[in-house]
Structure 1
Amino acid sequence: MKLKYAIIFSYLYIIITSITACAQKKIFPSPANYDLNTPEKFTMTESLQEISGITFNNLKNDTIYAIQDEEGKLFFWQLGSRKISSAKFGKRGDYEDLAILNNVVFVLRSDGTLYSFPLSAKTESSINSKEWVNLLPKGEYEGLHADAKQNNLYVLCKKCADDKSSKEVSGYVLTVSNDSLINSSQFSIDVKQIQALTEKKNVKFRPSALTFNLRTNEWFILSASNKMLVITDENWKVKQVFDLDPGTFLQPEGIAFDSEHNLYISNEGDDLKNGNVLKFKFLNK
């Protein structure tokens, strides 16, 4: 009889502890007009277990485009559909982000090499892509964004030789001109400004993706290793820093907006969890 009561007590303790833990789940602060605690989650298939960059063409959310960091393939599908199409553009490699500019796809490899090909080529099983080398200093790169108004690509260092990631992070502006890419200018993010807005100590900022919010004229910069979302003005002055819930953001590697101002963040999976794309609806408050 004593054993029976002991077992019942143990079960009750587990149930009460679980309920209490759920009730006390930490709510993480979010940017204005978004709630990072309540995403709509789209679970990825095995082919996109290691999804990294995501983007839309002209902000249209009828098709999402993505890469993963092992295969040189462009993936594209409608969110919610399990039918994912792909086209091969390069050899196996560490591909980190992508952007579409004037119907041309640009893909960033971690060593700073870029690949480009017409978006229309996605219907081909194998794409004849152009490789761009030695445009950027040696380093590790993960963030790429296209600015259609200025005809520019923005590339952000994750870890570059010239940077001290506890002080600043460098980025480069590549101008698309007459079917060529030109490294036209450089910018930097002051990590001390990030440090001043977070409780984390000795921040070494390692960004993994970036995108531009056309509604607010702000940069949204994601860091997987820091579990952090940094918002700057259009001139890279840090305005806000948001710590991300590690339970929701397993390994956030991609970020994008659509034409309705909805925010999307992609997460790589691991041995226990699938990769996913999280959608955060624009809340017009």
Structure 2
Amino acid sequence: MKKRHLLLNSLALLIMLSTWLGGCNSTQKEEVIYKDYDLSKPEKFNMPESLFEISGITFVDGKADTIYAVQDEEGKIFRLAWDIPKQLHAKFGKKGDYEDVAIMNGQAYILKSNGTIYALPMAEVVFEEPEQVKELKGRLPKGEYEGMYADAASGDLYVICKNCTEDNSKNSVTGYIFKPGPDSTSAPRTFSINVDQIKAITGKVSRGFRPSGLAKNPLTNDWYIISAVNKLLVVTDSQWKVKDAFPLNGNMFMQPEGIAFDKAGNLYISNEGDDLFSGNILKFKKIK
């Protein structure tokens, strides 16, 4: 009987040890997932009423002193300093569904959901009624677009589909790369994200992947793609191979529409407001 008790105690000890080791492994995996950013500990900047429906955000050359933003309804580009709710704006167009903003080489670009892009010099953004606004139509196939990124080094704009007829978002999502100059007539280059690679990490895309923003991490050259529909942050390498995917807490990420990095590698995600909460921008400091 004593031997039996010793055996049972040994088995119980082994079970407790394996459970503890399993917990340690889970913790280690969690640390790997959040090795660059702790997505549970942001600094939060609540938006003024004018940016209740904030969508895209960006910086000039990664300088975090001024945030540039657009919202879903008004044809305005807003600028404001971190944690200072006073904003200034320039009206570039009529009311419409504007989704993202990008800046490179002295030009601001605003993406409309139908793929039309508005361009104006940064020198004009300081005026409430800028005069040198150009409308770039027909650069992208018909579809619904929400995410855009400007690469100053190459002079290219990257625009990713949210819902395009050429895609089956359960299998792949297409993006387009092109020069935004008014005289550019060359067809855009394409890239694609394999949704099966996301499915292998998370089941959040069983009904398809619907991106709402993208940005390149200046320290790693990885792409970070946000989805408000899927409540998901996907990370790919520079060749668009999926490296990781992070489910986002809906209590914190109400409607994540925009994403950007500053030159120090800090991550910013903007959220549209709802009936109870104002829109906001969440800042996640790069973990050293």
CA contact (8 A) 1:75 1:87 kept: yes
Residue 272 (str. 1) matches residue 276 (str. 2) = yes
Residue 166 (str. 1) matches residue 179 (str. 2) = no
Q: Deviations over 1:188-240 (max 9, x none)?
A: 11111111111436241000000001211200000000000000011111110
Q: Deviations over 1:23-73 (max 9, x none)?
A: xxxx99554221000100000111000000000000000100000010000
> Structure 1 stretch 205-214 or stretch 119-128: which is displaced more?
119-128
CA contact (8 A) 1:176 1:182 kept: no
Report the count of equivalent residues.
258
Which ranges in structure 1 are unaligned for 5 or more consecutive residues? 1-26
Provide the residue aligned with 1:97 in structure 2. Answer: 100
Q: Of residues 263, 282, 287 in structure 2, which corresponds to 1:283? A: 287
Q: Deviations over 1:122-169 (max 9, x none)?
A: 121112310011111110000000111111000000000010010010
CA contact (8 A) 2:213 2:225 kept: yes
Provide the residue aligned with 1:112 in structure 2. Answer: 115
After superposition, residues 142-221 of structure 1 pair within 5 angstroms as 142-177=146-181, 180=184, 182-200=186-204, 202-221=206-225
CA RMSD of aligned residues (A): 1.7
CA contact (8 A) 2:204 2:230 kept: no
SS at 2:83 equivalent: coil
CA contact (8 A) 1:172 1:183 kept: no
Query: Partners of 2:59 and 2:100 in 1: how far apart?
Result: 12
Query: Partners of 2:61 and 2:280 in 1: how far apart?
Result: 22
Identity of aligned residues (%): 53
Q: Deviations over 1:60-97 (max 9, x none)?
A: 00100000010000000101112110110000000000
**One-letter amino acid of the counterpart of residue 268, structure 1:** E
Provide the residue aligned with 2:8 in structure 1. Answer: none
Query: Partners of 1:181 and 1:127 in 2: how far apart?
Result: 26
Instruction: Provide the TM-score with structure 1 as the length reference.
Output: 0.87
Query: Partners of 1:120 and 1:183 in 2: how far apart?
Result: 29
**One-letter amino acid of the counterpart of residue 57, structure 2:** I
Provide the residue aligned with 2:235 in structure 1. Answer: 231
> Structure 1 stretch 29-38 or stretch 145-154: which is displaced more?
29-38
Provide the residue aligned with 1:258 in structure 2. Answer: 262
Which ranges in structure 2 are unaligned for 5 or more consecutive residues? 1-26
Of Structure 1 and Structure 2, the greater strand share is in 1
Query: Partners of 1:181 and 1:31 in 2: how far apart?
Result: 42
SS at 1:56 equivalent: strand
CA contact (8 A) 2:103 2:150 kept: yes
SS at 1:266 equivalent: strand
SS at 1:221 equivalent: strand
Rg larger for: 2
Query: Partners of 1:121 and 1:187 in 2: how far apart?
Result: 32
Instruction: Provide the TM-score with structure 2 as the length reference.
Output: 0.86
SS at 1:90 equivalent: coil
Query: Partners of 1:220 and 1:201 in 2: how far apart?
Result: 16
TM-aligned CA distance change 1:178 to 1:107, over 3 Å: closer
Provide the residue aligned with 1:138 in structure 2. Answer: 142
> What is the deviation of 1:184?
3.0
SS at 1:123 equivalent: coil
SS at 1:231 equivalent: strand
CA contact (8 A) 1:54 1:67 kept: yes
**One-letter amino acid of the counterpart of residue 259, structure 2:** I
Query: Partners of 1:64 and 1:94 in 2: how far apart?
Result: 20
> What is the deviation of 1:120?
1.1
